[in-house]
Amino acid sequence: MVTGAALLQKAIRPETSSAPLIATASTRPGKPGTSPDEIDAARRAFKEKLKTAPEYAAFFDRLKTVFPSEYESFLAAFAKRSAASGEMASADLLMAEAVRSLRLSRGILAAKAGGQALEHIFELHFAMLRALAVKDPLLCVNFLYGGESPGFFEFSAQNRGLVAAMAIAGIDAIHDGEIQRIERPAPTGTDFDALEKALRAKGLDTPEIEALLDGKAGDPPIGDAKMCRAGQVYLETIAAMPESTRLRIYGLAVELMARS
């Protein structure tokens, strides 16, 4: 849904499952004795940091407008940590943490959004996969599974417009879902049979399909370039399915990402 969310962290097809590949980072409280002045200084430093990344500032402005309590909660937690450690995270790491926090607290609402908002999330996921594939297929695969690495944050620093656009699309879908509250049925077995048939028609083999739909690891492991391409084919294929089927699958995928 948003940066750091795993498209393939859990099986999407029913009656299959896999363990999350990464743990969610915890928030440490400020050390005892951290003064209000130190916390205020950290808040000011946060705003100064955003001036170096105006693309991300647009995301935080949108977050503050649409979900002010989430914005204040994130900023308060960040300020306590920063004041306690005396360290300031990079703008790219701050962005990733804010997106993760919103995804875990409200992300499931995106599954209830209207079709346009929901589809825009996956249009940008596809754009992200394509950009990562050019940079490094390993980063592309890590993104599919929700992994973050120094290489990904380097990529983010070079592609902040895309990262911010994807994050803002997540905010907009969550907000739309909060308003519309569309209850979609889960994808059917027929939906997944049609998706699998379409994936095979596009040249994917059983290991890639099982990785995409069932969360199974390949044995032997699937090469990074091959898995990266499979992820792109997967999103292209879903986008070409009938609208009702497509939105059922998107809704389930967003729900799984929000729970990861």
| Proportion of the chain above pLDDT 90, given as a percent | 72
Backbone angles phi, psi at 249, to 5 degrees: -70, -45
Give per-residue pLDDT as tens, 200-210: 999 999 999 99
Could you read off the pLDDT of 34-66 as tens digits, one per residue?
Answer: 788 889 998 998 999 999 999 999 999 999 999
Position of tokens 């059983």? 206
- 106: closest CA among 185, 173, 165, 20? 173
d(CA 92, CA 79): 16
Q: What does pLDDT average to over the chain?
A: 87
The reported pTM is 0.85
Is the bond preceding 207 in cis, omega lying within 30 degrees of 0? no
Least confident of 5-14, 178-187, 228-237, 239-248: 5-14
Radius of gyration of the chain (CA): 19
Number of neighbouring beta carbons within 10 Å of residue 240: 10
Each residue's pLDDT tens digit, 118-131:
999 999 999 999 99
- The answer for residues whose C-beta is within 8 angstroms of residue 159's C-beta and 6 or more apart is 131
Q: Which residue has the higher pLDDT, 11 or 143?
A: 143
The arithmetic mean of pLDDT across residues 88-106, rounded, is: 92
Give the mean model confidence (pLDDT) for residues 146-172. Answer: 93
175-227 per-position pLDDT tens digit: 999 999 999 999 999 999 999 999 999 999 999 999 999 888 888 999 999 99
Lowest mean pLDDT among 1-15, 212-226, 240-254: 1-15
The pLDDT of residue 12: 62
Q: What is the Cα–Cα distance from 110 to 255, expressed in whole angstroms? A: 8
Instruction: Name the residue with tokens 């990079």.
Output: 90
Neighbours of 127 (CB within 10 A): 15
8-state DSSP, 107: G
Per-residue pLDDT averaged across 107-118, rounded?
A: 97
Taking the alpha carbons of 99, 102, 107, 109 in that order, is the dihedral positive or negative? negative
Of 14, 230, 239, 12, the closest CA to residue 118 belongs to: 239
Residue spans of the domains in the chain: they are: 189-259
Residues 6+ positions from 126 with CB-CB distance below 8 Å? 232, 235, 236, 239
**What's the pLDDT at 171?**
98
> Band of the pLDDT at 146, cuts 50, 70, 90?
confident
If you search the block for the tokens 């996921």, which residue do you land on? 125
Cα 14 to Cα 49: distance, rounded to the nearest angstrom: 44
pLDDT of 32: 56
Residue located via tokens 């999330």: 121
Residue the block writes with tokens 């983010």: 156
Q: From CA 79, how far away is CA 157, in angstroms rounded? A: 22
